[in-house]
Amino acid sequence: MYRIISGRWKGKKIAAPKNFEVRPTTDFAKEALFSIIEHRYDIEYVSVLDLFAGIGSISLEFASRECKDITSVELNPKHCAFITSTAKDLGFDKQLNIQRGDVFDWLKKRRNQGKKYNIVFSDAPFEMEREKYLELIDLVLNGDFLSEDGTFIMEHQSRQKFEHPLCVETRKYGNVSFSLFKNTNMSIEEDIH
């Protein structure tokens, strides 16, 4: 179960079927994440790509906060169906574009095709190998997915550290950390206040 923490459906609890093996972002980490995002963007006007969408905790949080352009990529067909039905029940179905597929294949097929996002968010399985995390970073940052002001936010276990020239900061919230990467077209100094 997870809770939408703000926006139109603030406080709404979403219960997934018991047989779903998922790890939604905790309320504590989600509040911190959206504090970071709202400091940088007006959510109503951003385009979001949610990778490893799971059962939609992050996608539905964006939708509740009036984001109109959310693409969610998830491999598990039951999870995709759950996001679709939940979005419809909450009246978010026009805001969400749910894509079923392997995130790595999806990114490879769509690299350099013109669609850009202000925010790319990834909540890959914590047990994913470090090499796959590095491949993910490379695919997002070199695949022309980020808009000029775009940020790639990667959720990962705090014990994992990612040194990268485009990683502008990592925020730690207990066992969960968010690493923020900026677009290759933007100088890092522009975003550090």
Pairing of strands 13-14, 47-51: unpaired
CB atoms under 10 Å from CB of 154, counted, come to: 24
Average of per-residue pLDDT across 125-140? 92
Global pTM reads: 0.90
What is the reported pLDDT for 192?
Answer: 36
Instruction: Indicate the pLDDT class of residue 184, thresholds 50, 70 and 90.
Output: low
What is the reported pLDDT for 193?
Answer: 33
pLDDT tops 60 at residue 142: yes
Strand partners, 73: 51, 99
Task: CATH number for 2-191: choose from 3.40.50.150, 3.40.50.360, 3.90.1300.10, 2.60.40.3950.
Answer: 3.40.50.150
CA-to-CA distance for 110 and 126, rounded, in angstroms?
25
Average of per-residue pLDDT across 161-189? 81
Give domain limits for the chain: 2-191
CB atoms under 10 Å from CB of 19, counted, come to: 6
The full 3-state SS of 140-193, as one line of letters, equals HHHCCCEEEEEEEEEEEECCCCCCCCCEEEEEEECCEEEEEEECCCCCHHHHCC
pLDDT tens for residues 43-100? Answer: 999 999 999 999 999 999 999 999 999 999 999 999 999 999 999 999 998 999 999 9
CA-to-CA distance for 185 and 41, rounded, in angstroms?
18
Average of per-residue pLDDT across 34-40? 93
Mean pLDDT of the chain: 89
